[in-house]
Chains A and B, each alone.
Chain A
Amino acid sequence: MSRASVELDFFGMEKQNCCKSRFQKSLDRRLSFRGLQGALSKVNPELIKSVIASGLKNPQGQDNVYQMDSNKSFSVPSSPKETQSLFPALPLLTPAARATSENGPETAPLTIFYNGTVSVFNVPRDKAESILKLAVEVEGNSKNVEPIDSKVASPPSDRQQLLETLNGDLPIARRKSLQRFLEKRKERYFLFCF
């Protein structure tokens, strides 16, 4: 991933946002996120976690923020049952929440695609920029990094890993009606047992 794409005006602050179509804004977000994915693919996960944690220490406009346990070890998901979210304790972002944060001047959504999981955070702009700078720095400094061709989606080994993770991550969905029945049955089971 070339440096230039990571340095794109990530939040579109310089350009006139209101002139863009809704699609264009979402496309910009998506293009930028894809670039970030490539940059982050080689970064030490512990490093990412600590950067995010420090970025969230002084949130603005946040009601409930959880400090991430930086001692928690991260394991690469190898099967559906072992899948762990990279950022389990962080606040969720529902589409509704995203809408309000887009309009607010203080925080904006930062979406991170990492190893087949997706997480969205509300971060203030300066923190987001420091995360980005760090990602690029680490990528540049790391001796293990292979030069990533900007035309290639991601190195084959990464793609394979992403593929496996993605395939393992989707549990078989349950039908709503059956789901409700099984829950009611559990309730009755415990009700009649005690």
Chain B
Amino acid sequence: MEENGNKLHKTMTSQPGMSDVVLGCVMPYIDDPKDRDAVSLVCRRWYELDALTRKHITIALCYTTSPDRLRRRFRHLESLKLKGKPRAAMFNLIPEDWGGYVTPWVNEIAENFNCLKAVHFRRMIVKDSDLEVLARSRGKVLQVLKLDKCSGFSTDGLLHVGRLCRQLRTLFLEESAIIEKDGQWLHELAVNNSVLMNLNFYMTDLMKVSCEDLEFIAQNCRNLASVKISDCEILDLVGFFHAAPVLEEFCGGLFNEQPERYAAVSFPPRLCRLGLTYMGKNEMPIVFPFASLLKKLDLLYAFLDTEDHCLLIQRCPNLEVLETRNVIGDRGLEVLARSCKRLKRLRIERGADEQEMEDEEGVVSQRGLMALAQGCLELEYLAVYVSDITNASLQYIGTYLKNLCDFRLVLLDREERITDLPLDDGVRDLLRGCEKLRRFALYLRPGGLTDVGLGYIGQYSPKVRWMLLGYVGGSDVGLLEFSKGCPSLQKLEMRGCCFSEHALAASVMQLTSLRYLWVQGYRASESGRDLLAMARPFWNIELIPARRIVGEDAVIEHPAHILAYYSLAGPRTDFPESVIPLDPSAAGISS
């Protein structure tokens, strides 16, 4: 910066406007990525200043650029987030060996990114050797390590992290598929770290971790604020809870003993974010003493029925985040609407299909949605699996939920008859009413949304950047109409389409902001060449051809996928057998 200042001093007299010194003071305060993007486009000087001062980069798909390019532009990066596999991987739709290897990135980080303190890999393949390289090279400075829904490594790799990353404030492993050799890694962490604030191995199936090590960590790390673990008997955690006085968040555990025994468990006084695995109706009362403090409640992996939800939720007036399954039912949503006026995020997942496993009342429909819309006016995020729906309920959402940024609706396929289809008008009114909407998902069934409705989505979603559309529209006409709009749409995912390759390609060419497309289930053309109509420079097109997987009790047909994305790095060089690149030049088509 001093060097720039000196150089600049000479030009200051000749160049009117803001000096680089001033700019250099101001720019570090600009954090929003879109603002930074704009700043870097002003002129060469601003581009360079942005490159020197940018703190965080998210690369939404690791194949869109290369480690080399990243290093050349942002050498002083402090925080990096990389995403690999398509989102569909979270639903078991993507082959395990699809790609997204962290190795080239880790190697570049080890060599050149001297300021990097935070690393977040999401849906990527990580090897033990990668963790060793990272720990050896950056262990002394690394503060945040997130292996988020990753796979390919074992607890041996984590040993290096535990031993060498002594400055770690955050270790996040949630939903990663980890090969478990032993629980030694947690012991290493306990012995070597005294600054840990967030520890997360939730949903990892790690069984060999010891509760003593957890207690040890709590004793050593006086700032321990959030702990999310795998299955571990709650009664064995009594010592841990005592040793963690500033704990605010806890998820995990399990309940294997007689319900009466849990009365002895006392939780830390500041606990306000909670999720107790396998908690049932009989254990639920242990939460009552501090329910009014709760800001976040995770009931996704609890054993509660609709009535239990009502009893618990009415005691939580300060709730801001609720995650649960559709067993909450319409009645539970009505209680939520009455009791939780500060609710900001609500996620309702799909429960079991078999009637015996879930409550009869456990279905969500227009009744619950309408109550929710009128009651929880501060909602910003709403994701829900419904069994029935009407246009009116969507209109309610558009009328009342003015703060909604992220809306996702899936119409389950159990009921043959839905009260009110198609949803054209409701969707239109929701989009028009929720002016802040940035993310939108609509997953219906044939007849759920006509071509007119699909056109409405295009017309009334000016700010939406990500969309997932399932079984919408009736023909290519709808898709083409849709693609005339959506001016901000960067990432589009579609499933169960009736659209032809020709229309898909044409719509891609019309969507002005589109940089990423994923499609599964579409009308393939006879020659298969219609997709190449979207061939253009820097646009990678990949196919995962149809597959047939034989499981233990079922044969699953996986229709073909299309994945297309802008890339500065050219086509991938690490394709597995299951992924085929479309190369326009090889097919004899000029792009």
- Is the beta-carbon distance between B548 and A172 smaller than 8 angstroms? no
Given contacts A170-B520, A174-B92, contact A154 B526 (CB under 8 A): yes
Residue among A23, A24, A85 making CB contact with B555, cutoff 8 Å: A85
A94 to B545, CA, bound (A): 11
A172 to B526, CA, bound (A): 27
Within 8 A of A (CB), among B67-122: 88, 90-93, 95
As a 0/1 sequence over residues 148 to 183 of chain A, the CB contacts with chain B under 8 angstroms (1 = contact) are 000011100001001110110111111111111110
A152 to B583, CA, bound (A): 25
In the complex, which residues of chain B have a beta carbon less than 8 angstroms from the beta carbon of A35? 526
Given contacts A80-B413, A153-B526, contact A94 B549 (CB under 8 A): yes
- Is the beta-carbon distance between B357 and A186 smaller than 8 angstroms? yes
As a 0/1 sequence over residues 58 to 101 of chain A, the CB contacts with chain B under 8 angstroms (1 = contact) are 00000000000000000000001000010010001111101100
Given contacts A95-B577, A99-B577, A177-B175, contact A182 B352 (CB under 8 A): yes
Main secondary structure of the interface of A (DSSP, over half): helix
Given contacts A24-B586, A92-B550, contact A181 B498 (CB under 8 A): no
Chain B contact patch, size range? 35 or more
- Is the beta-carbon distance between A166 and B91 smaller than 8 angstroms? no
- Is the beta-carbon distance between B521 and A166 smaller than 8 angstroms? yes
Taking the complex as formed, is A38 at the interface, i.e. its CB lies under 8 A from any CB of chain B? yes
Main secondary structure of the interface of B (DSSP, over half): loop
A92 to B471, CA, bound (A): 28
A92 to B205, CA, bound (A): 30
A48 to B92, CA, bound (A): 32
With CB as the reference atom, state the residue of chain B lying closest to A177: B203
Taking the complex as formed, is B559 at the interface, i.e. its CB lies under 8 A from any CB of chain A? yes
Taking the complex as formed, is B536 at the interface, i.e. its CB lies under 8 A from any CB of chain A? no
- Is the beta-carbon distance between A27 and B587 smaller than 8 angstroms? yes
Within 8 A of A (CB), among B320-372: 325, 349-352, 357
- Is the beta-carbon distance between B528 and A30 smaller than 8 angstroms? yes
Chain A contact patch, size range? 35 or more
A95 to B548, CA, bound (A): 9
Quote the shortest CB–CB distance from B159 to chain A (angstroms).
25
- Is the beta-carbon distance between A92 and B555 smaller than 8 angstroms? yes
- Is the beta-carbon distance between B587 and A23 smaller than 8 angstroms? yes
Within 8 A of B (CB), among A7-34: 21-24, 26-27, 30-31, 34
Within 8 A of A (CB), among B406-424: 410, 412-413
In the complex, which residues of chain B have a beta carbon less than 8 angstroms from the beta carbon of A189? 357
Taking the complex as formed, is B514 at the interface, i.e. its CB lies under 8 A from any CB of chain A? no
Taking the complex as formed, is B547 at the interface, i.e. its CB lies under 8 A from any CB of chain A? yes
A186 to B549, CA, bound (A): 23
- Is the beta-carbon distance between B413 and A172 smaller than 8 angstroms? yes
> Which residues of B are in contact with A by a Cβ distance under 8 Å?
88, 90-93, 95, 175, 203, 205, 278, 300-301, 303, 325, 349-352, 357, 410, 412-413, 443, 446, 470-471, 495-496, 498, 500, 520-521, 523-528, 545-550, 555, 557, 559, 576-578, 580-583, 586-587
> Which residues of A are in contact with B by a Cβ distance under 8 Å?
21-24, 26-27, 30-31, 34-35, 37-38, 80, 85, 88, 92-96, 98-99, 117-120, 152-154, 159, 162-164, 166-167, 169-182, 185-186, 188-189
The 6 closest A-B pairs by CB, nearest first: A173-B91, A95-B577, A92-B550, A23-B586, A118-B546, A95-B578
Q: List 16 A-B contacts (CB under 8 A).
A: A23-B586, A23-B587, A27-B586, A80-B413, A95-B95, A118-B557, A152-B526, A163-B498, A166-B496, A167-B446, A167-B496, A172-B413, A176-B92, A185-B278, A185-B357, A188-B278
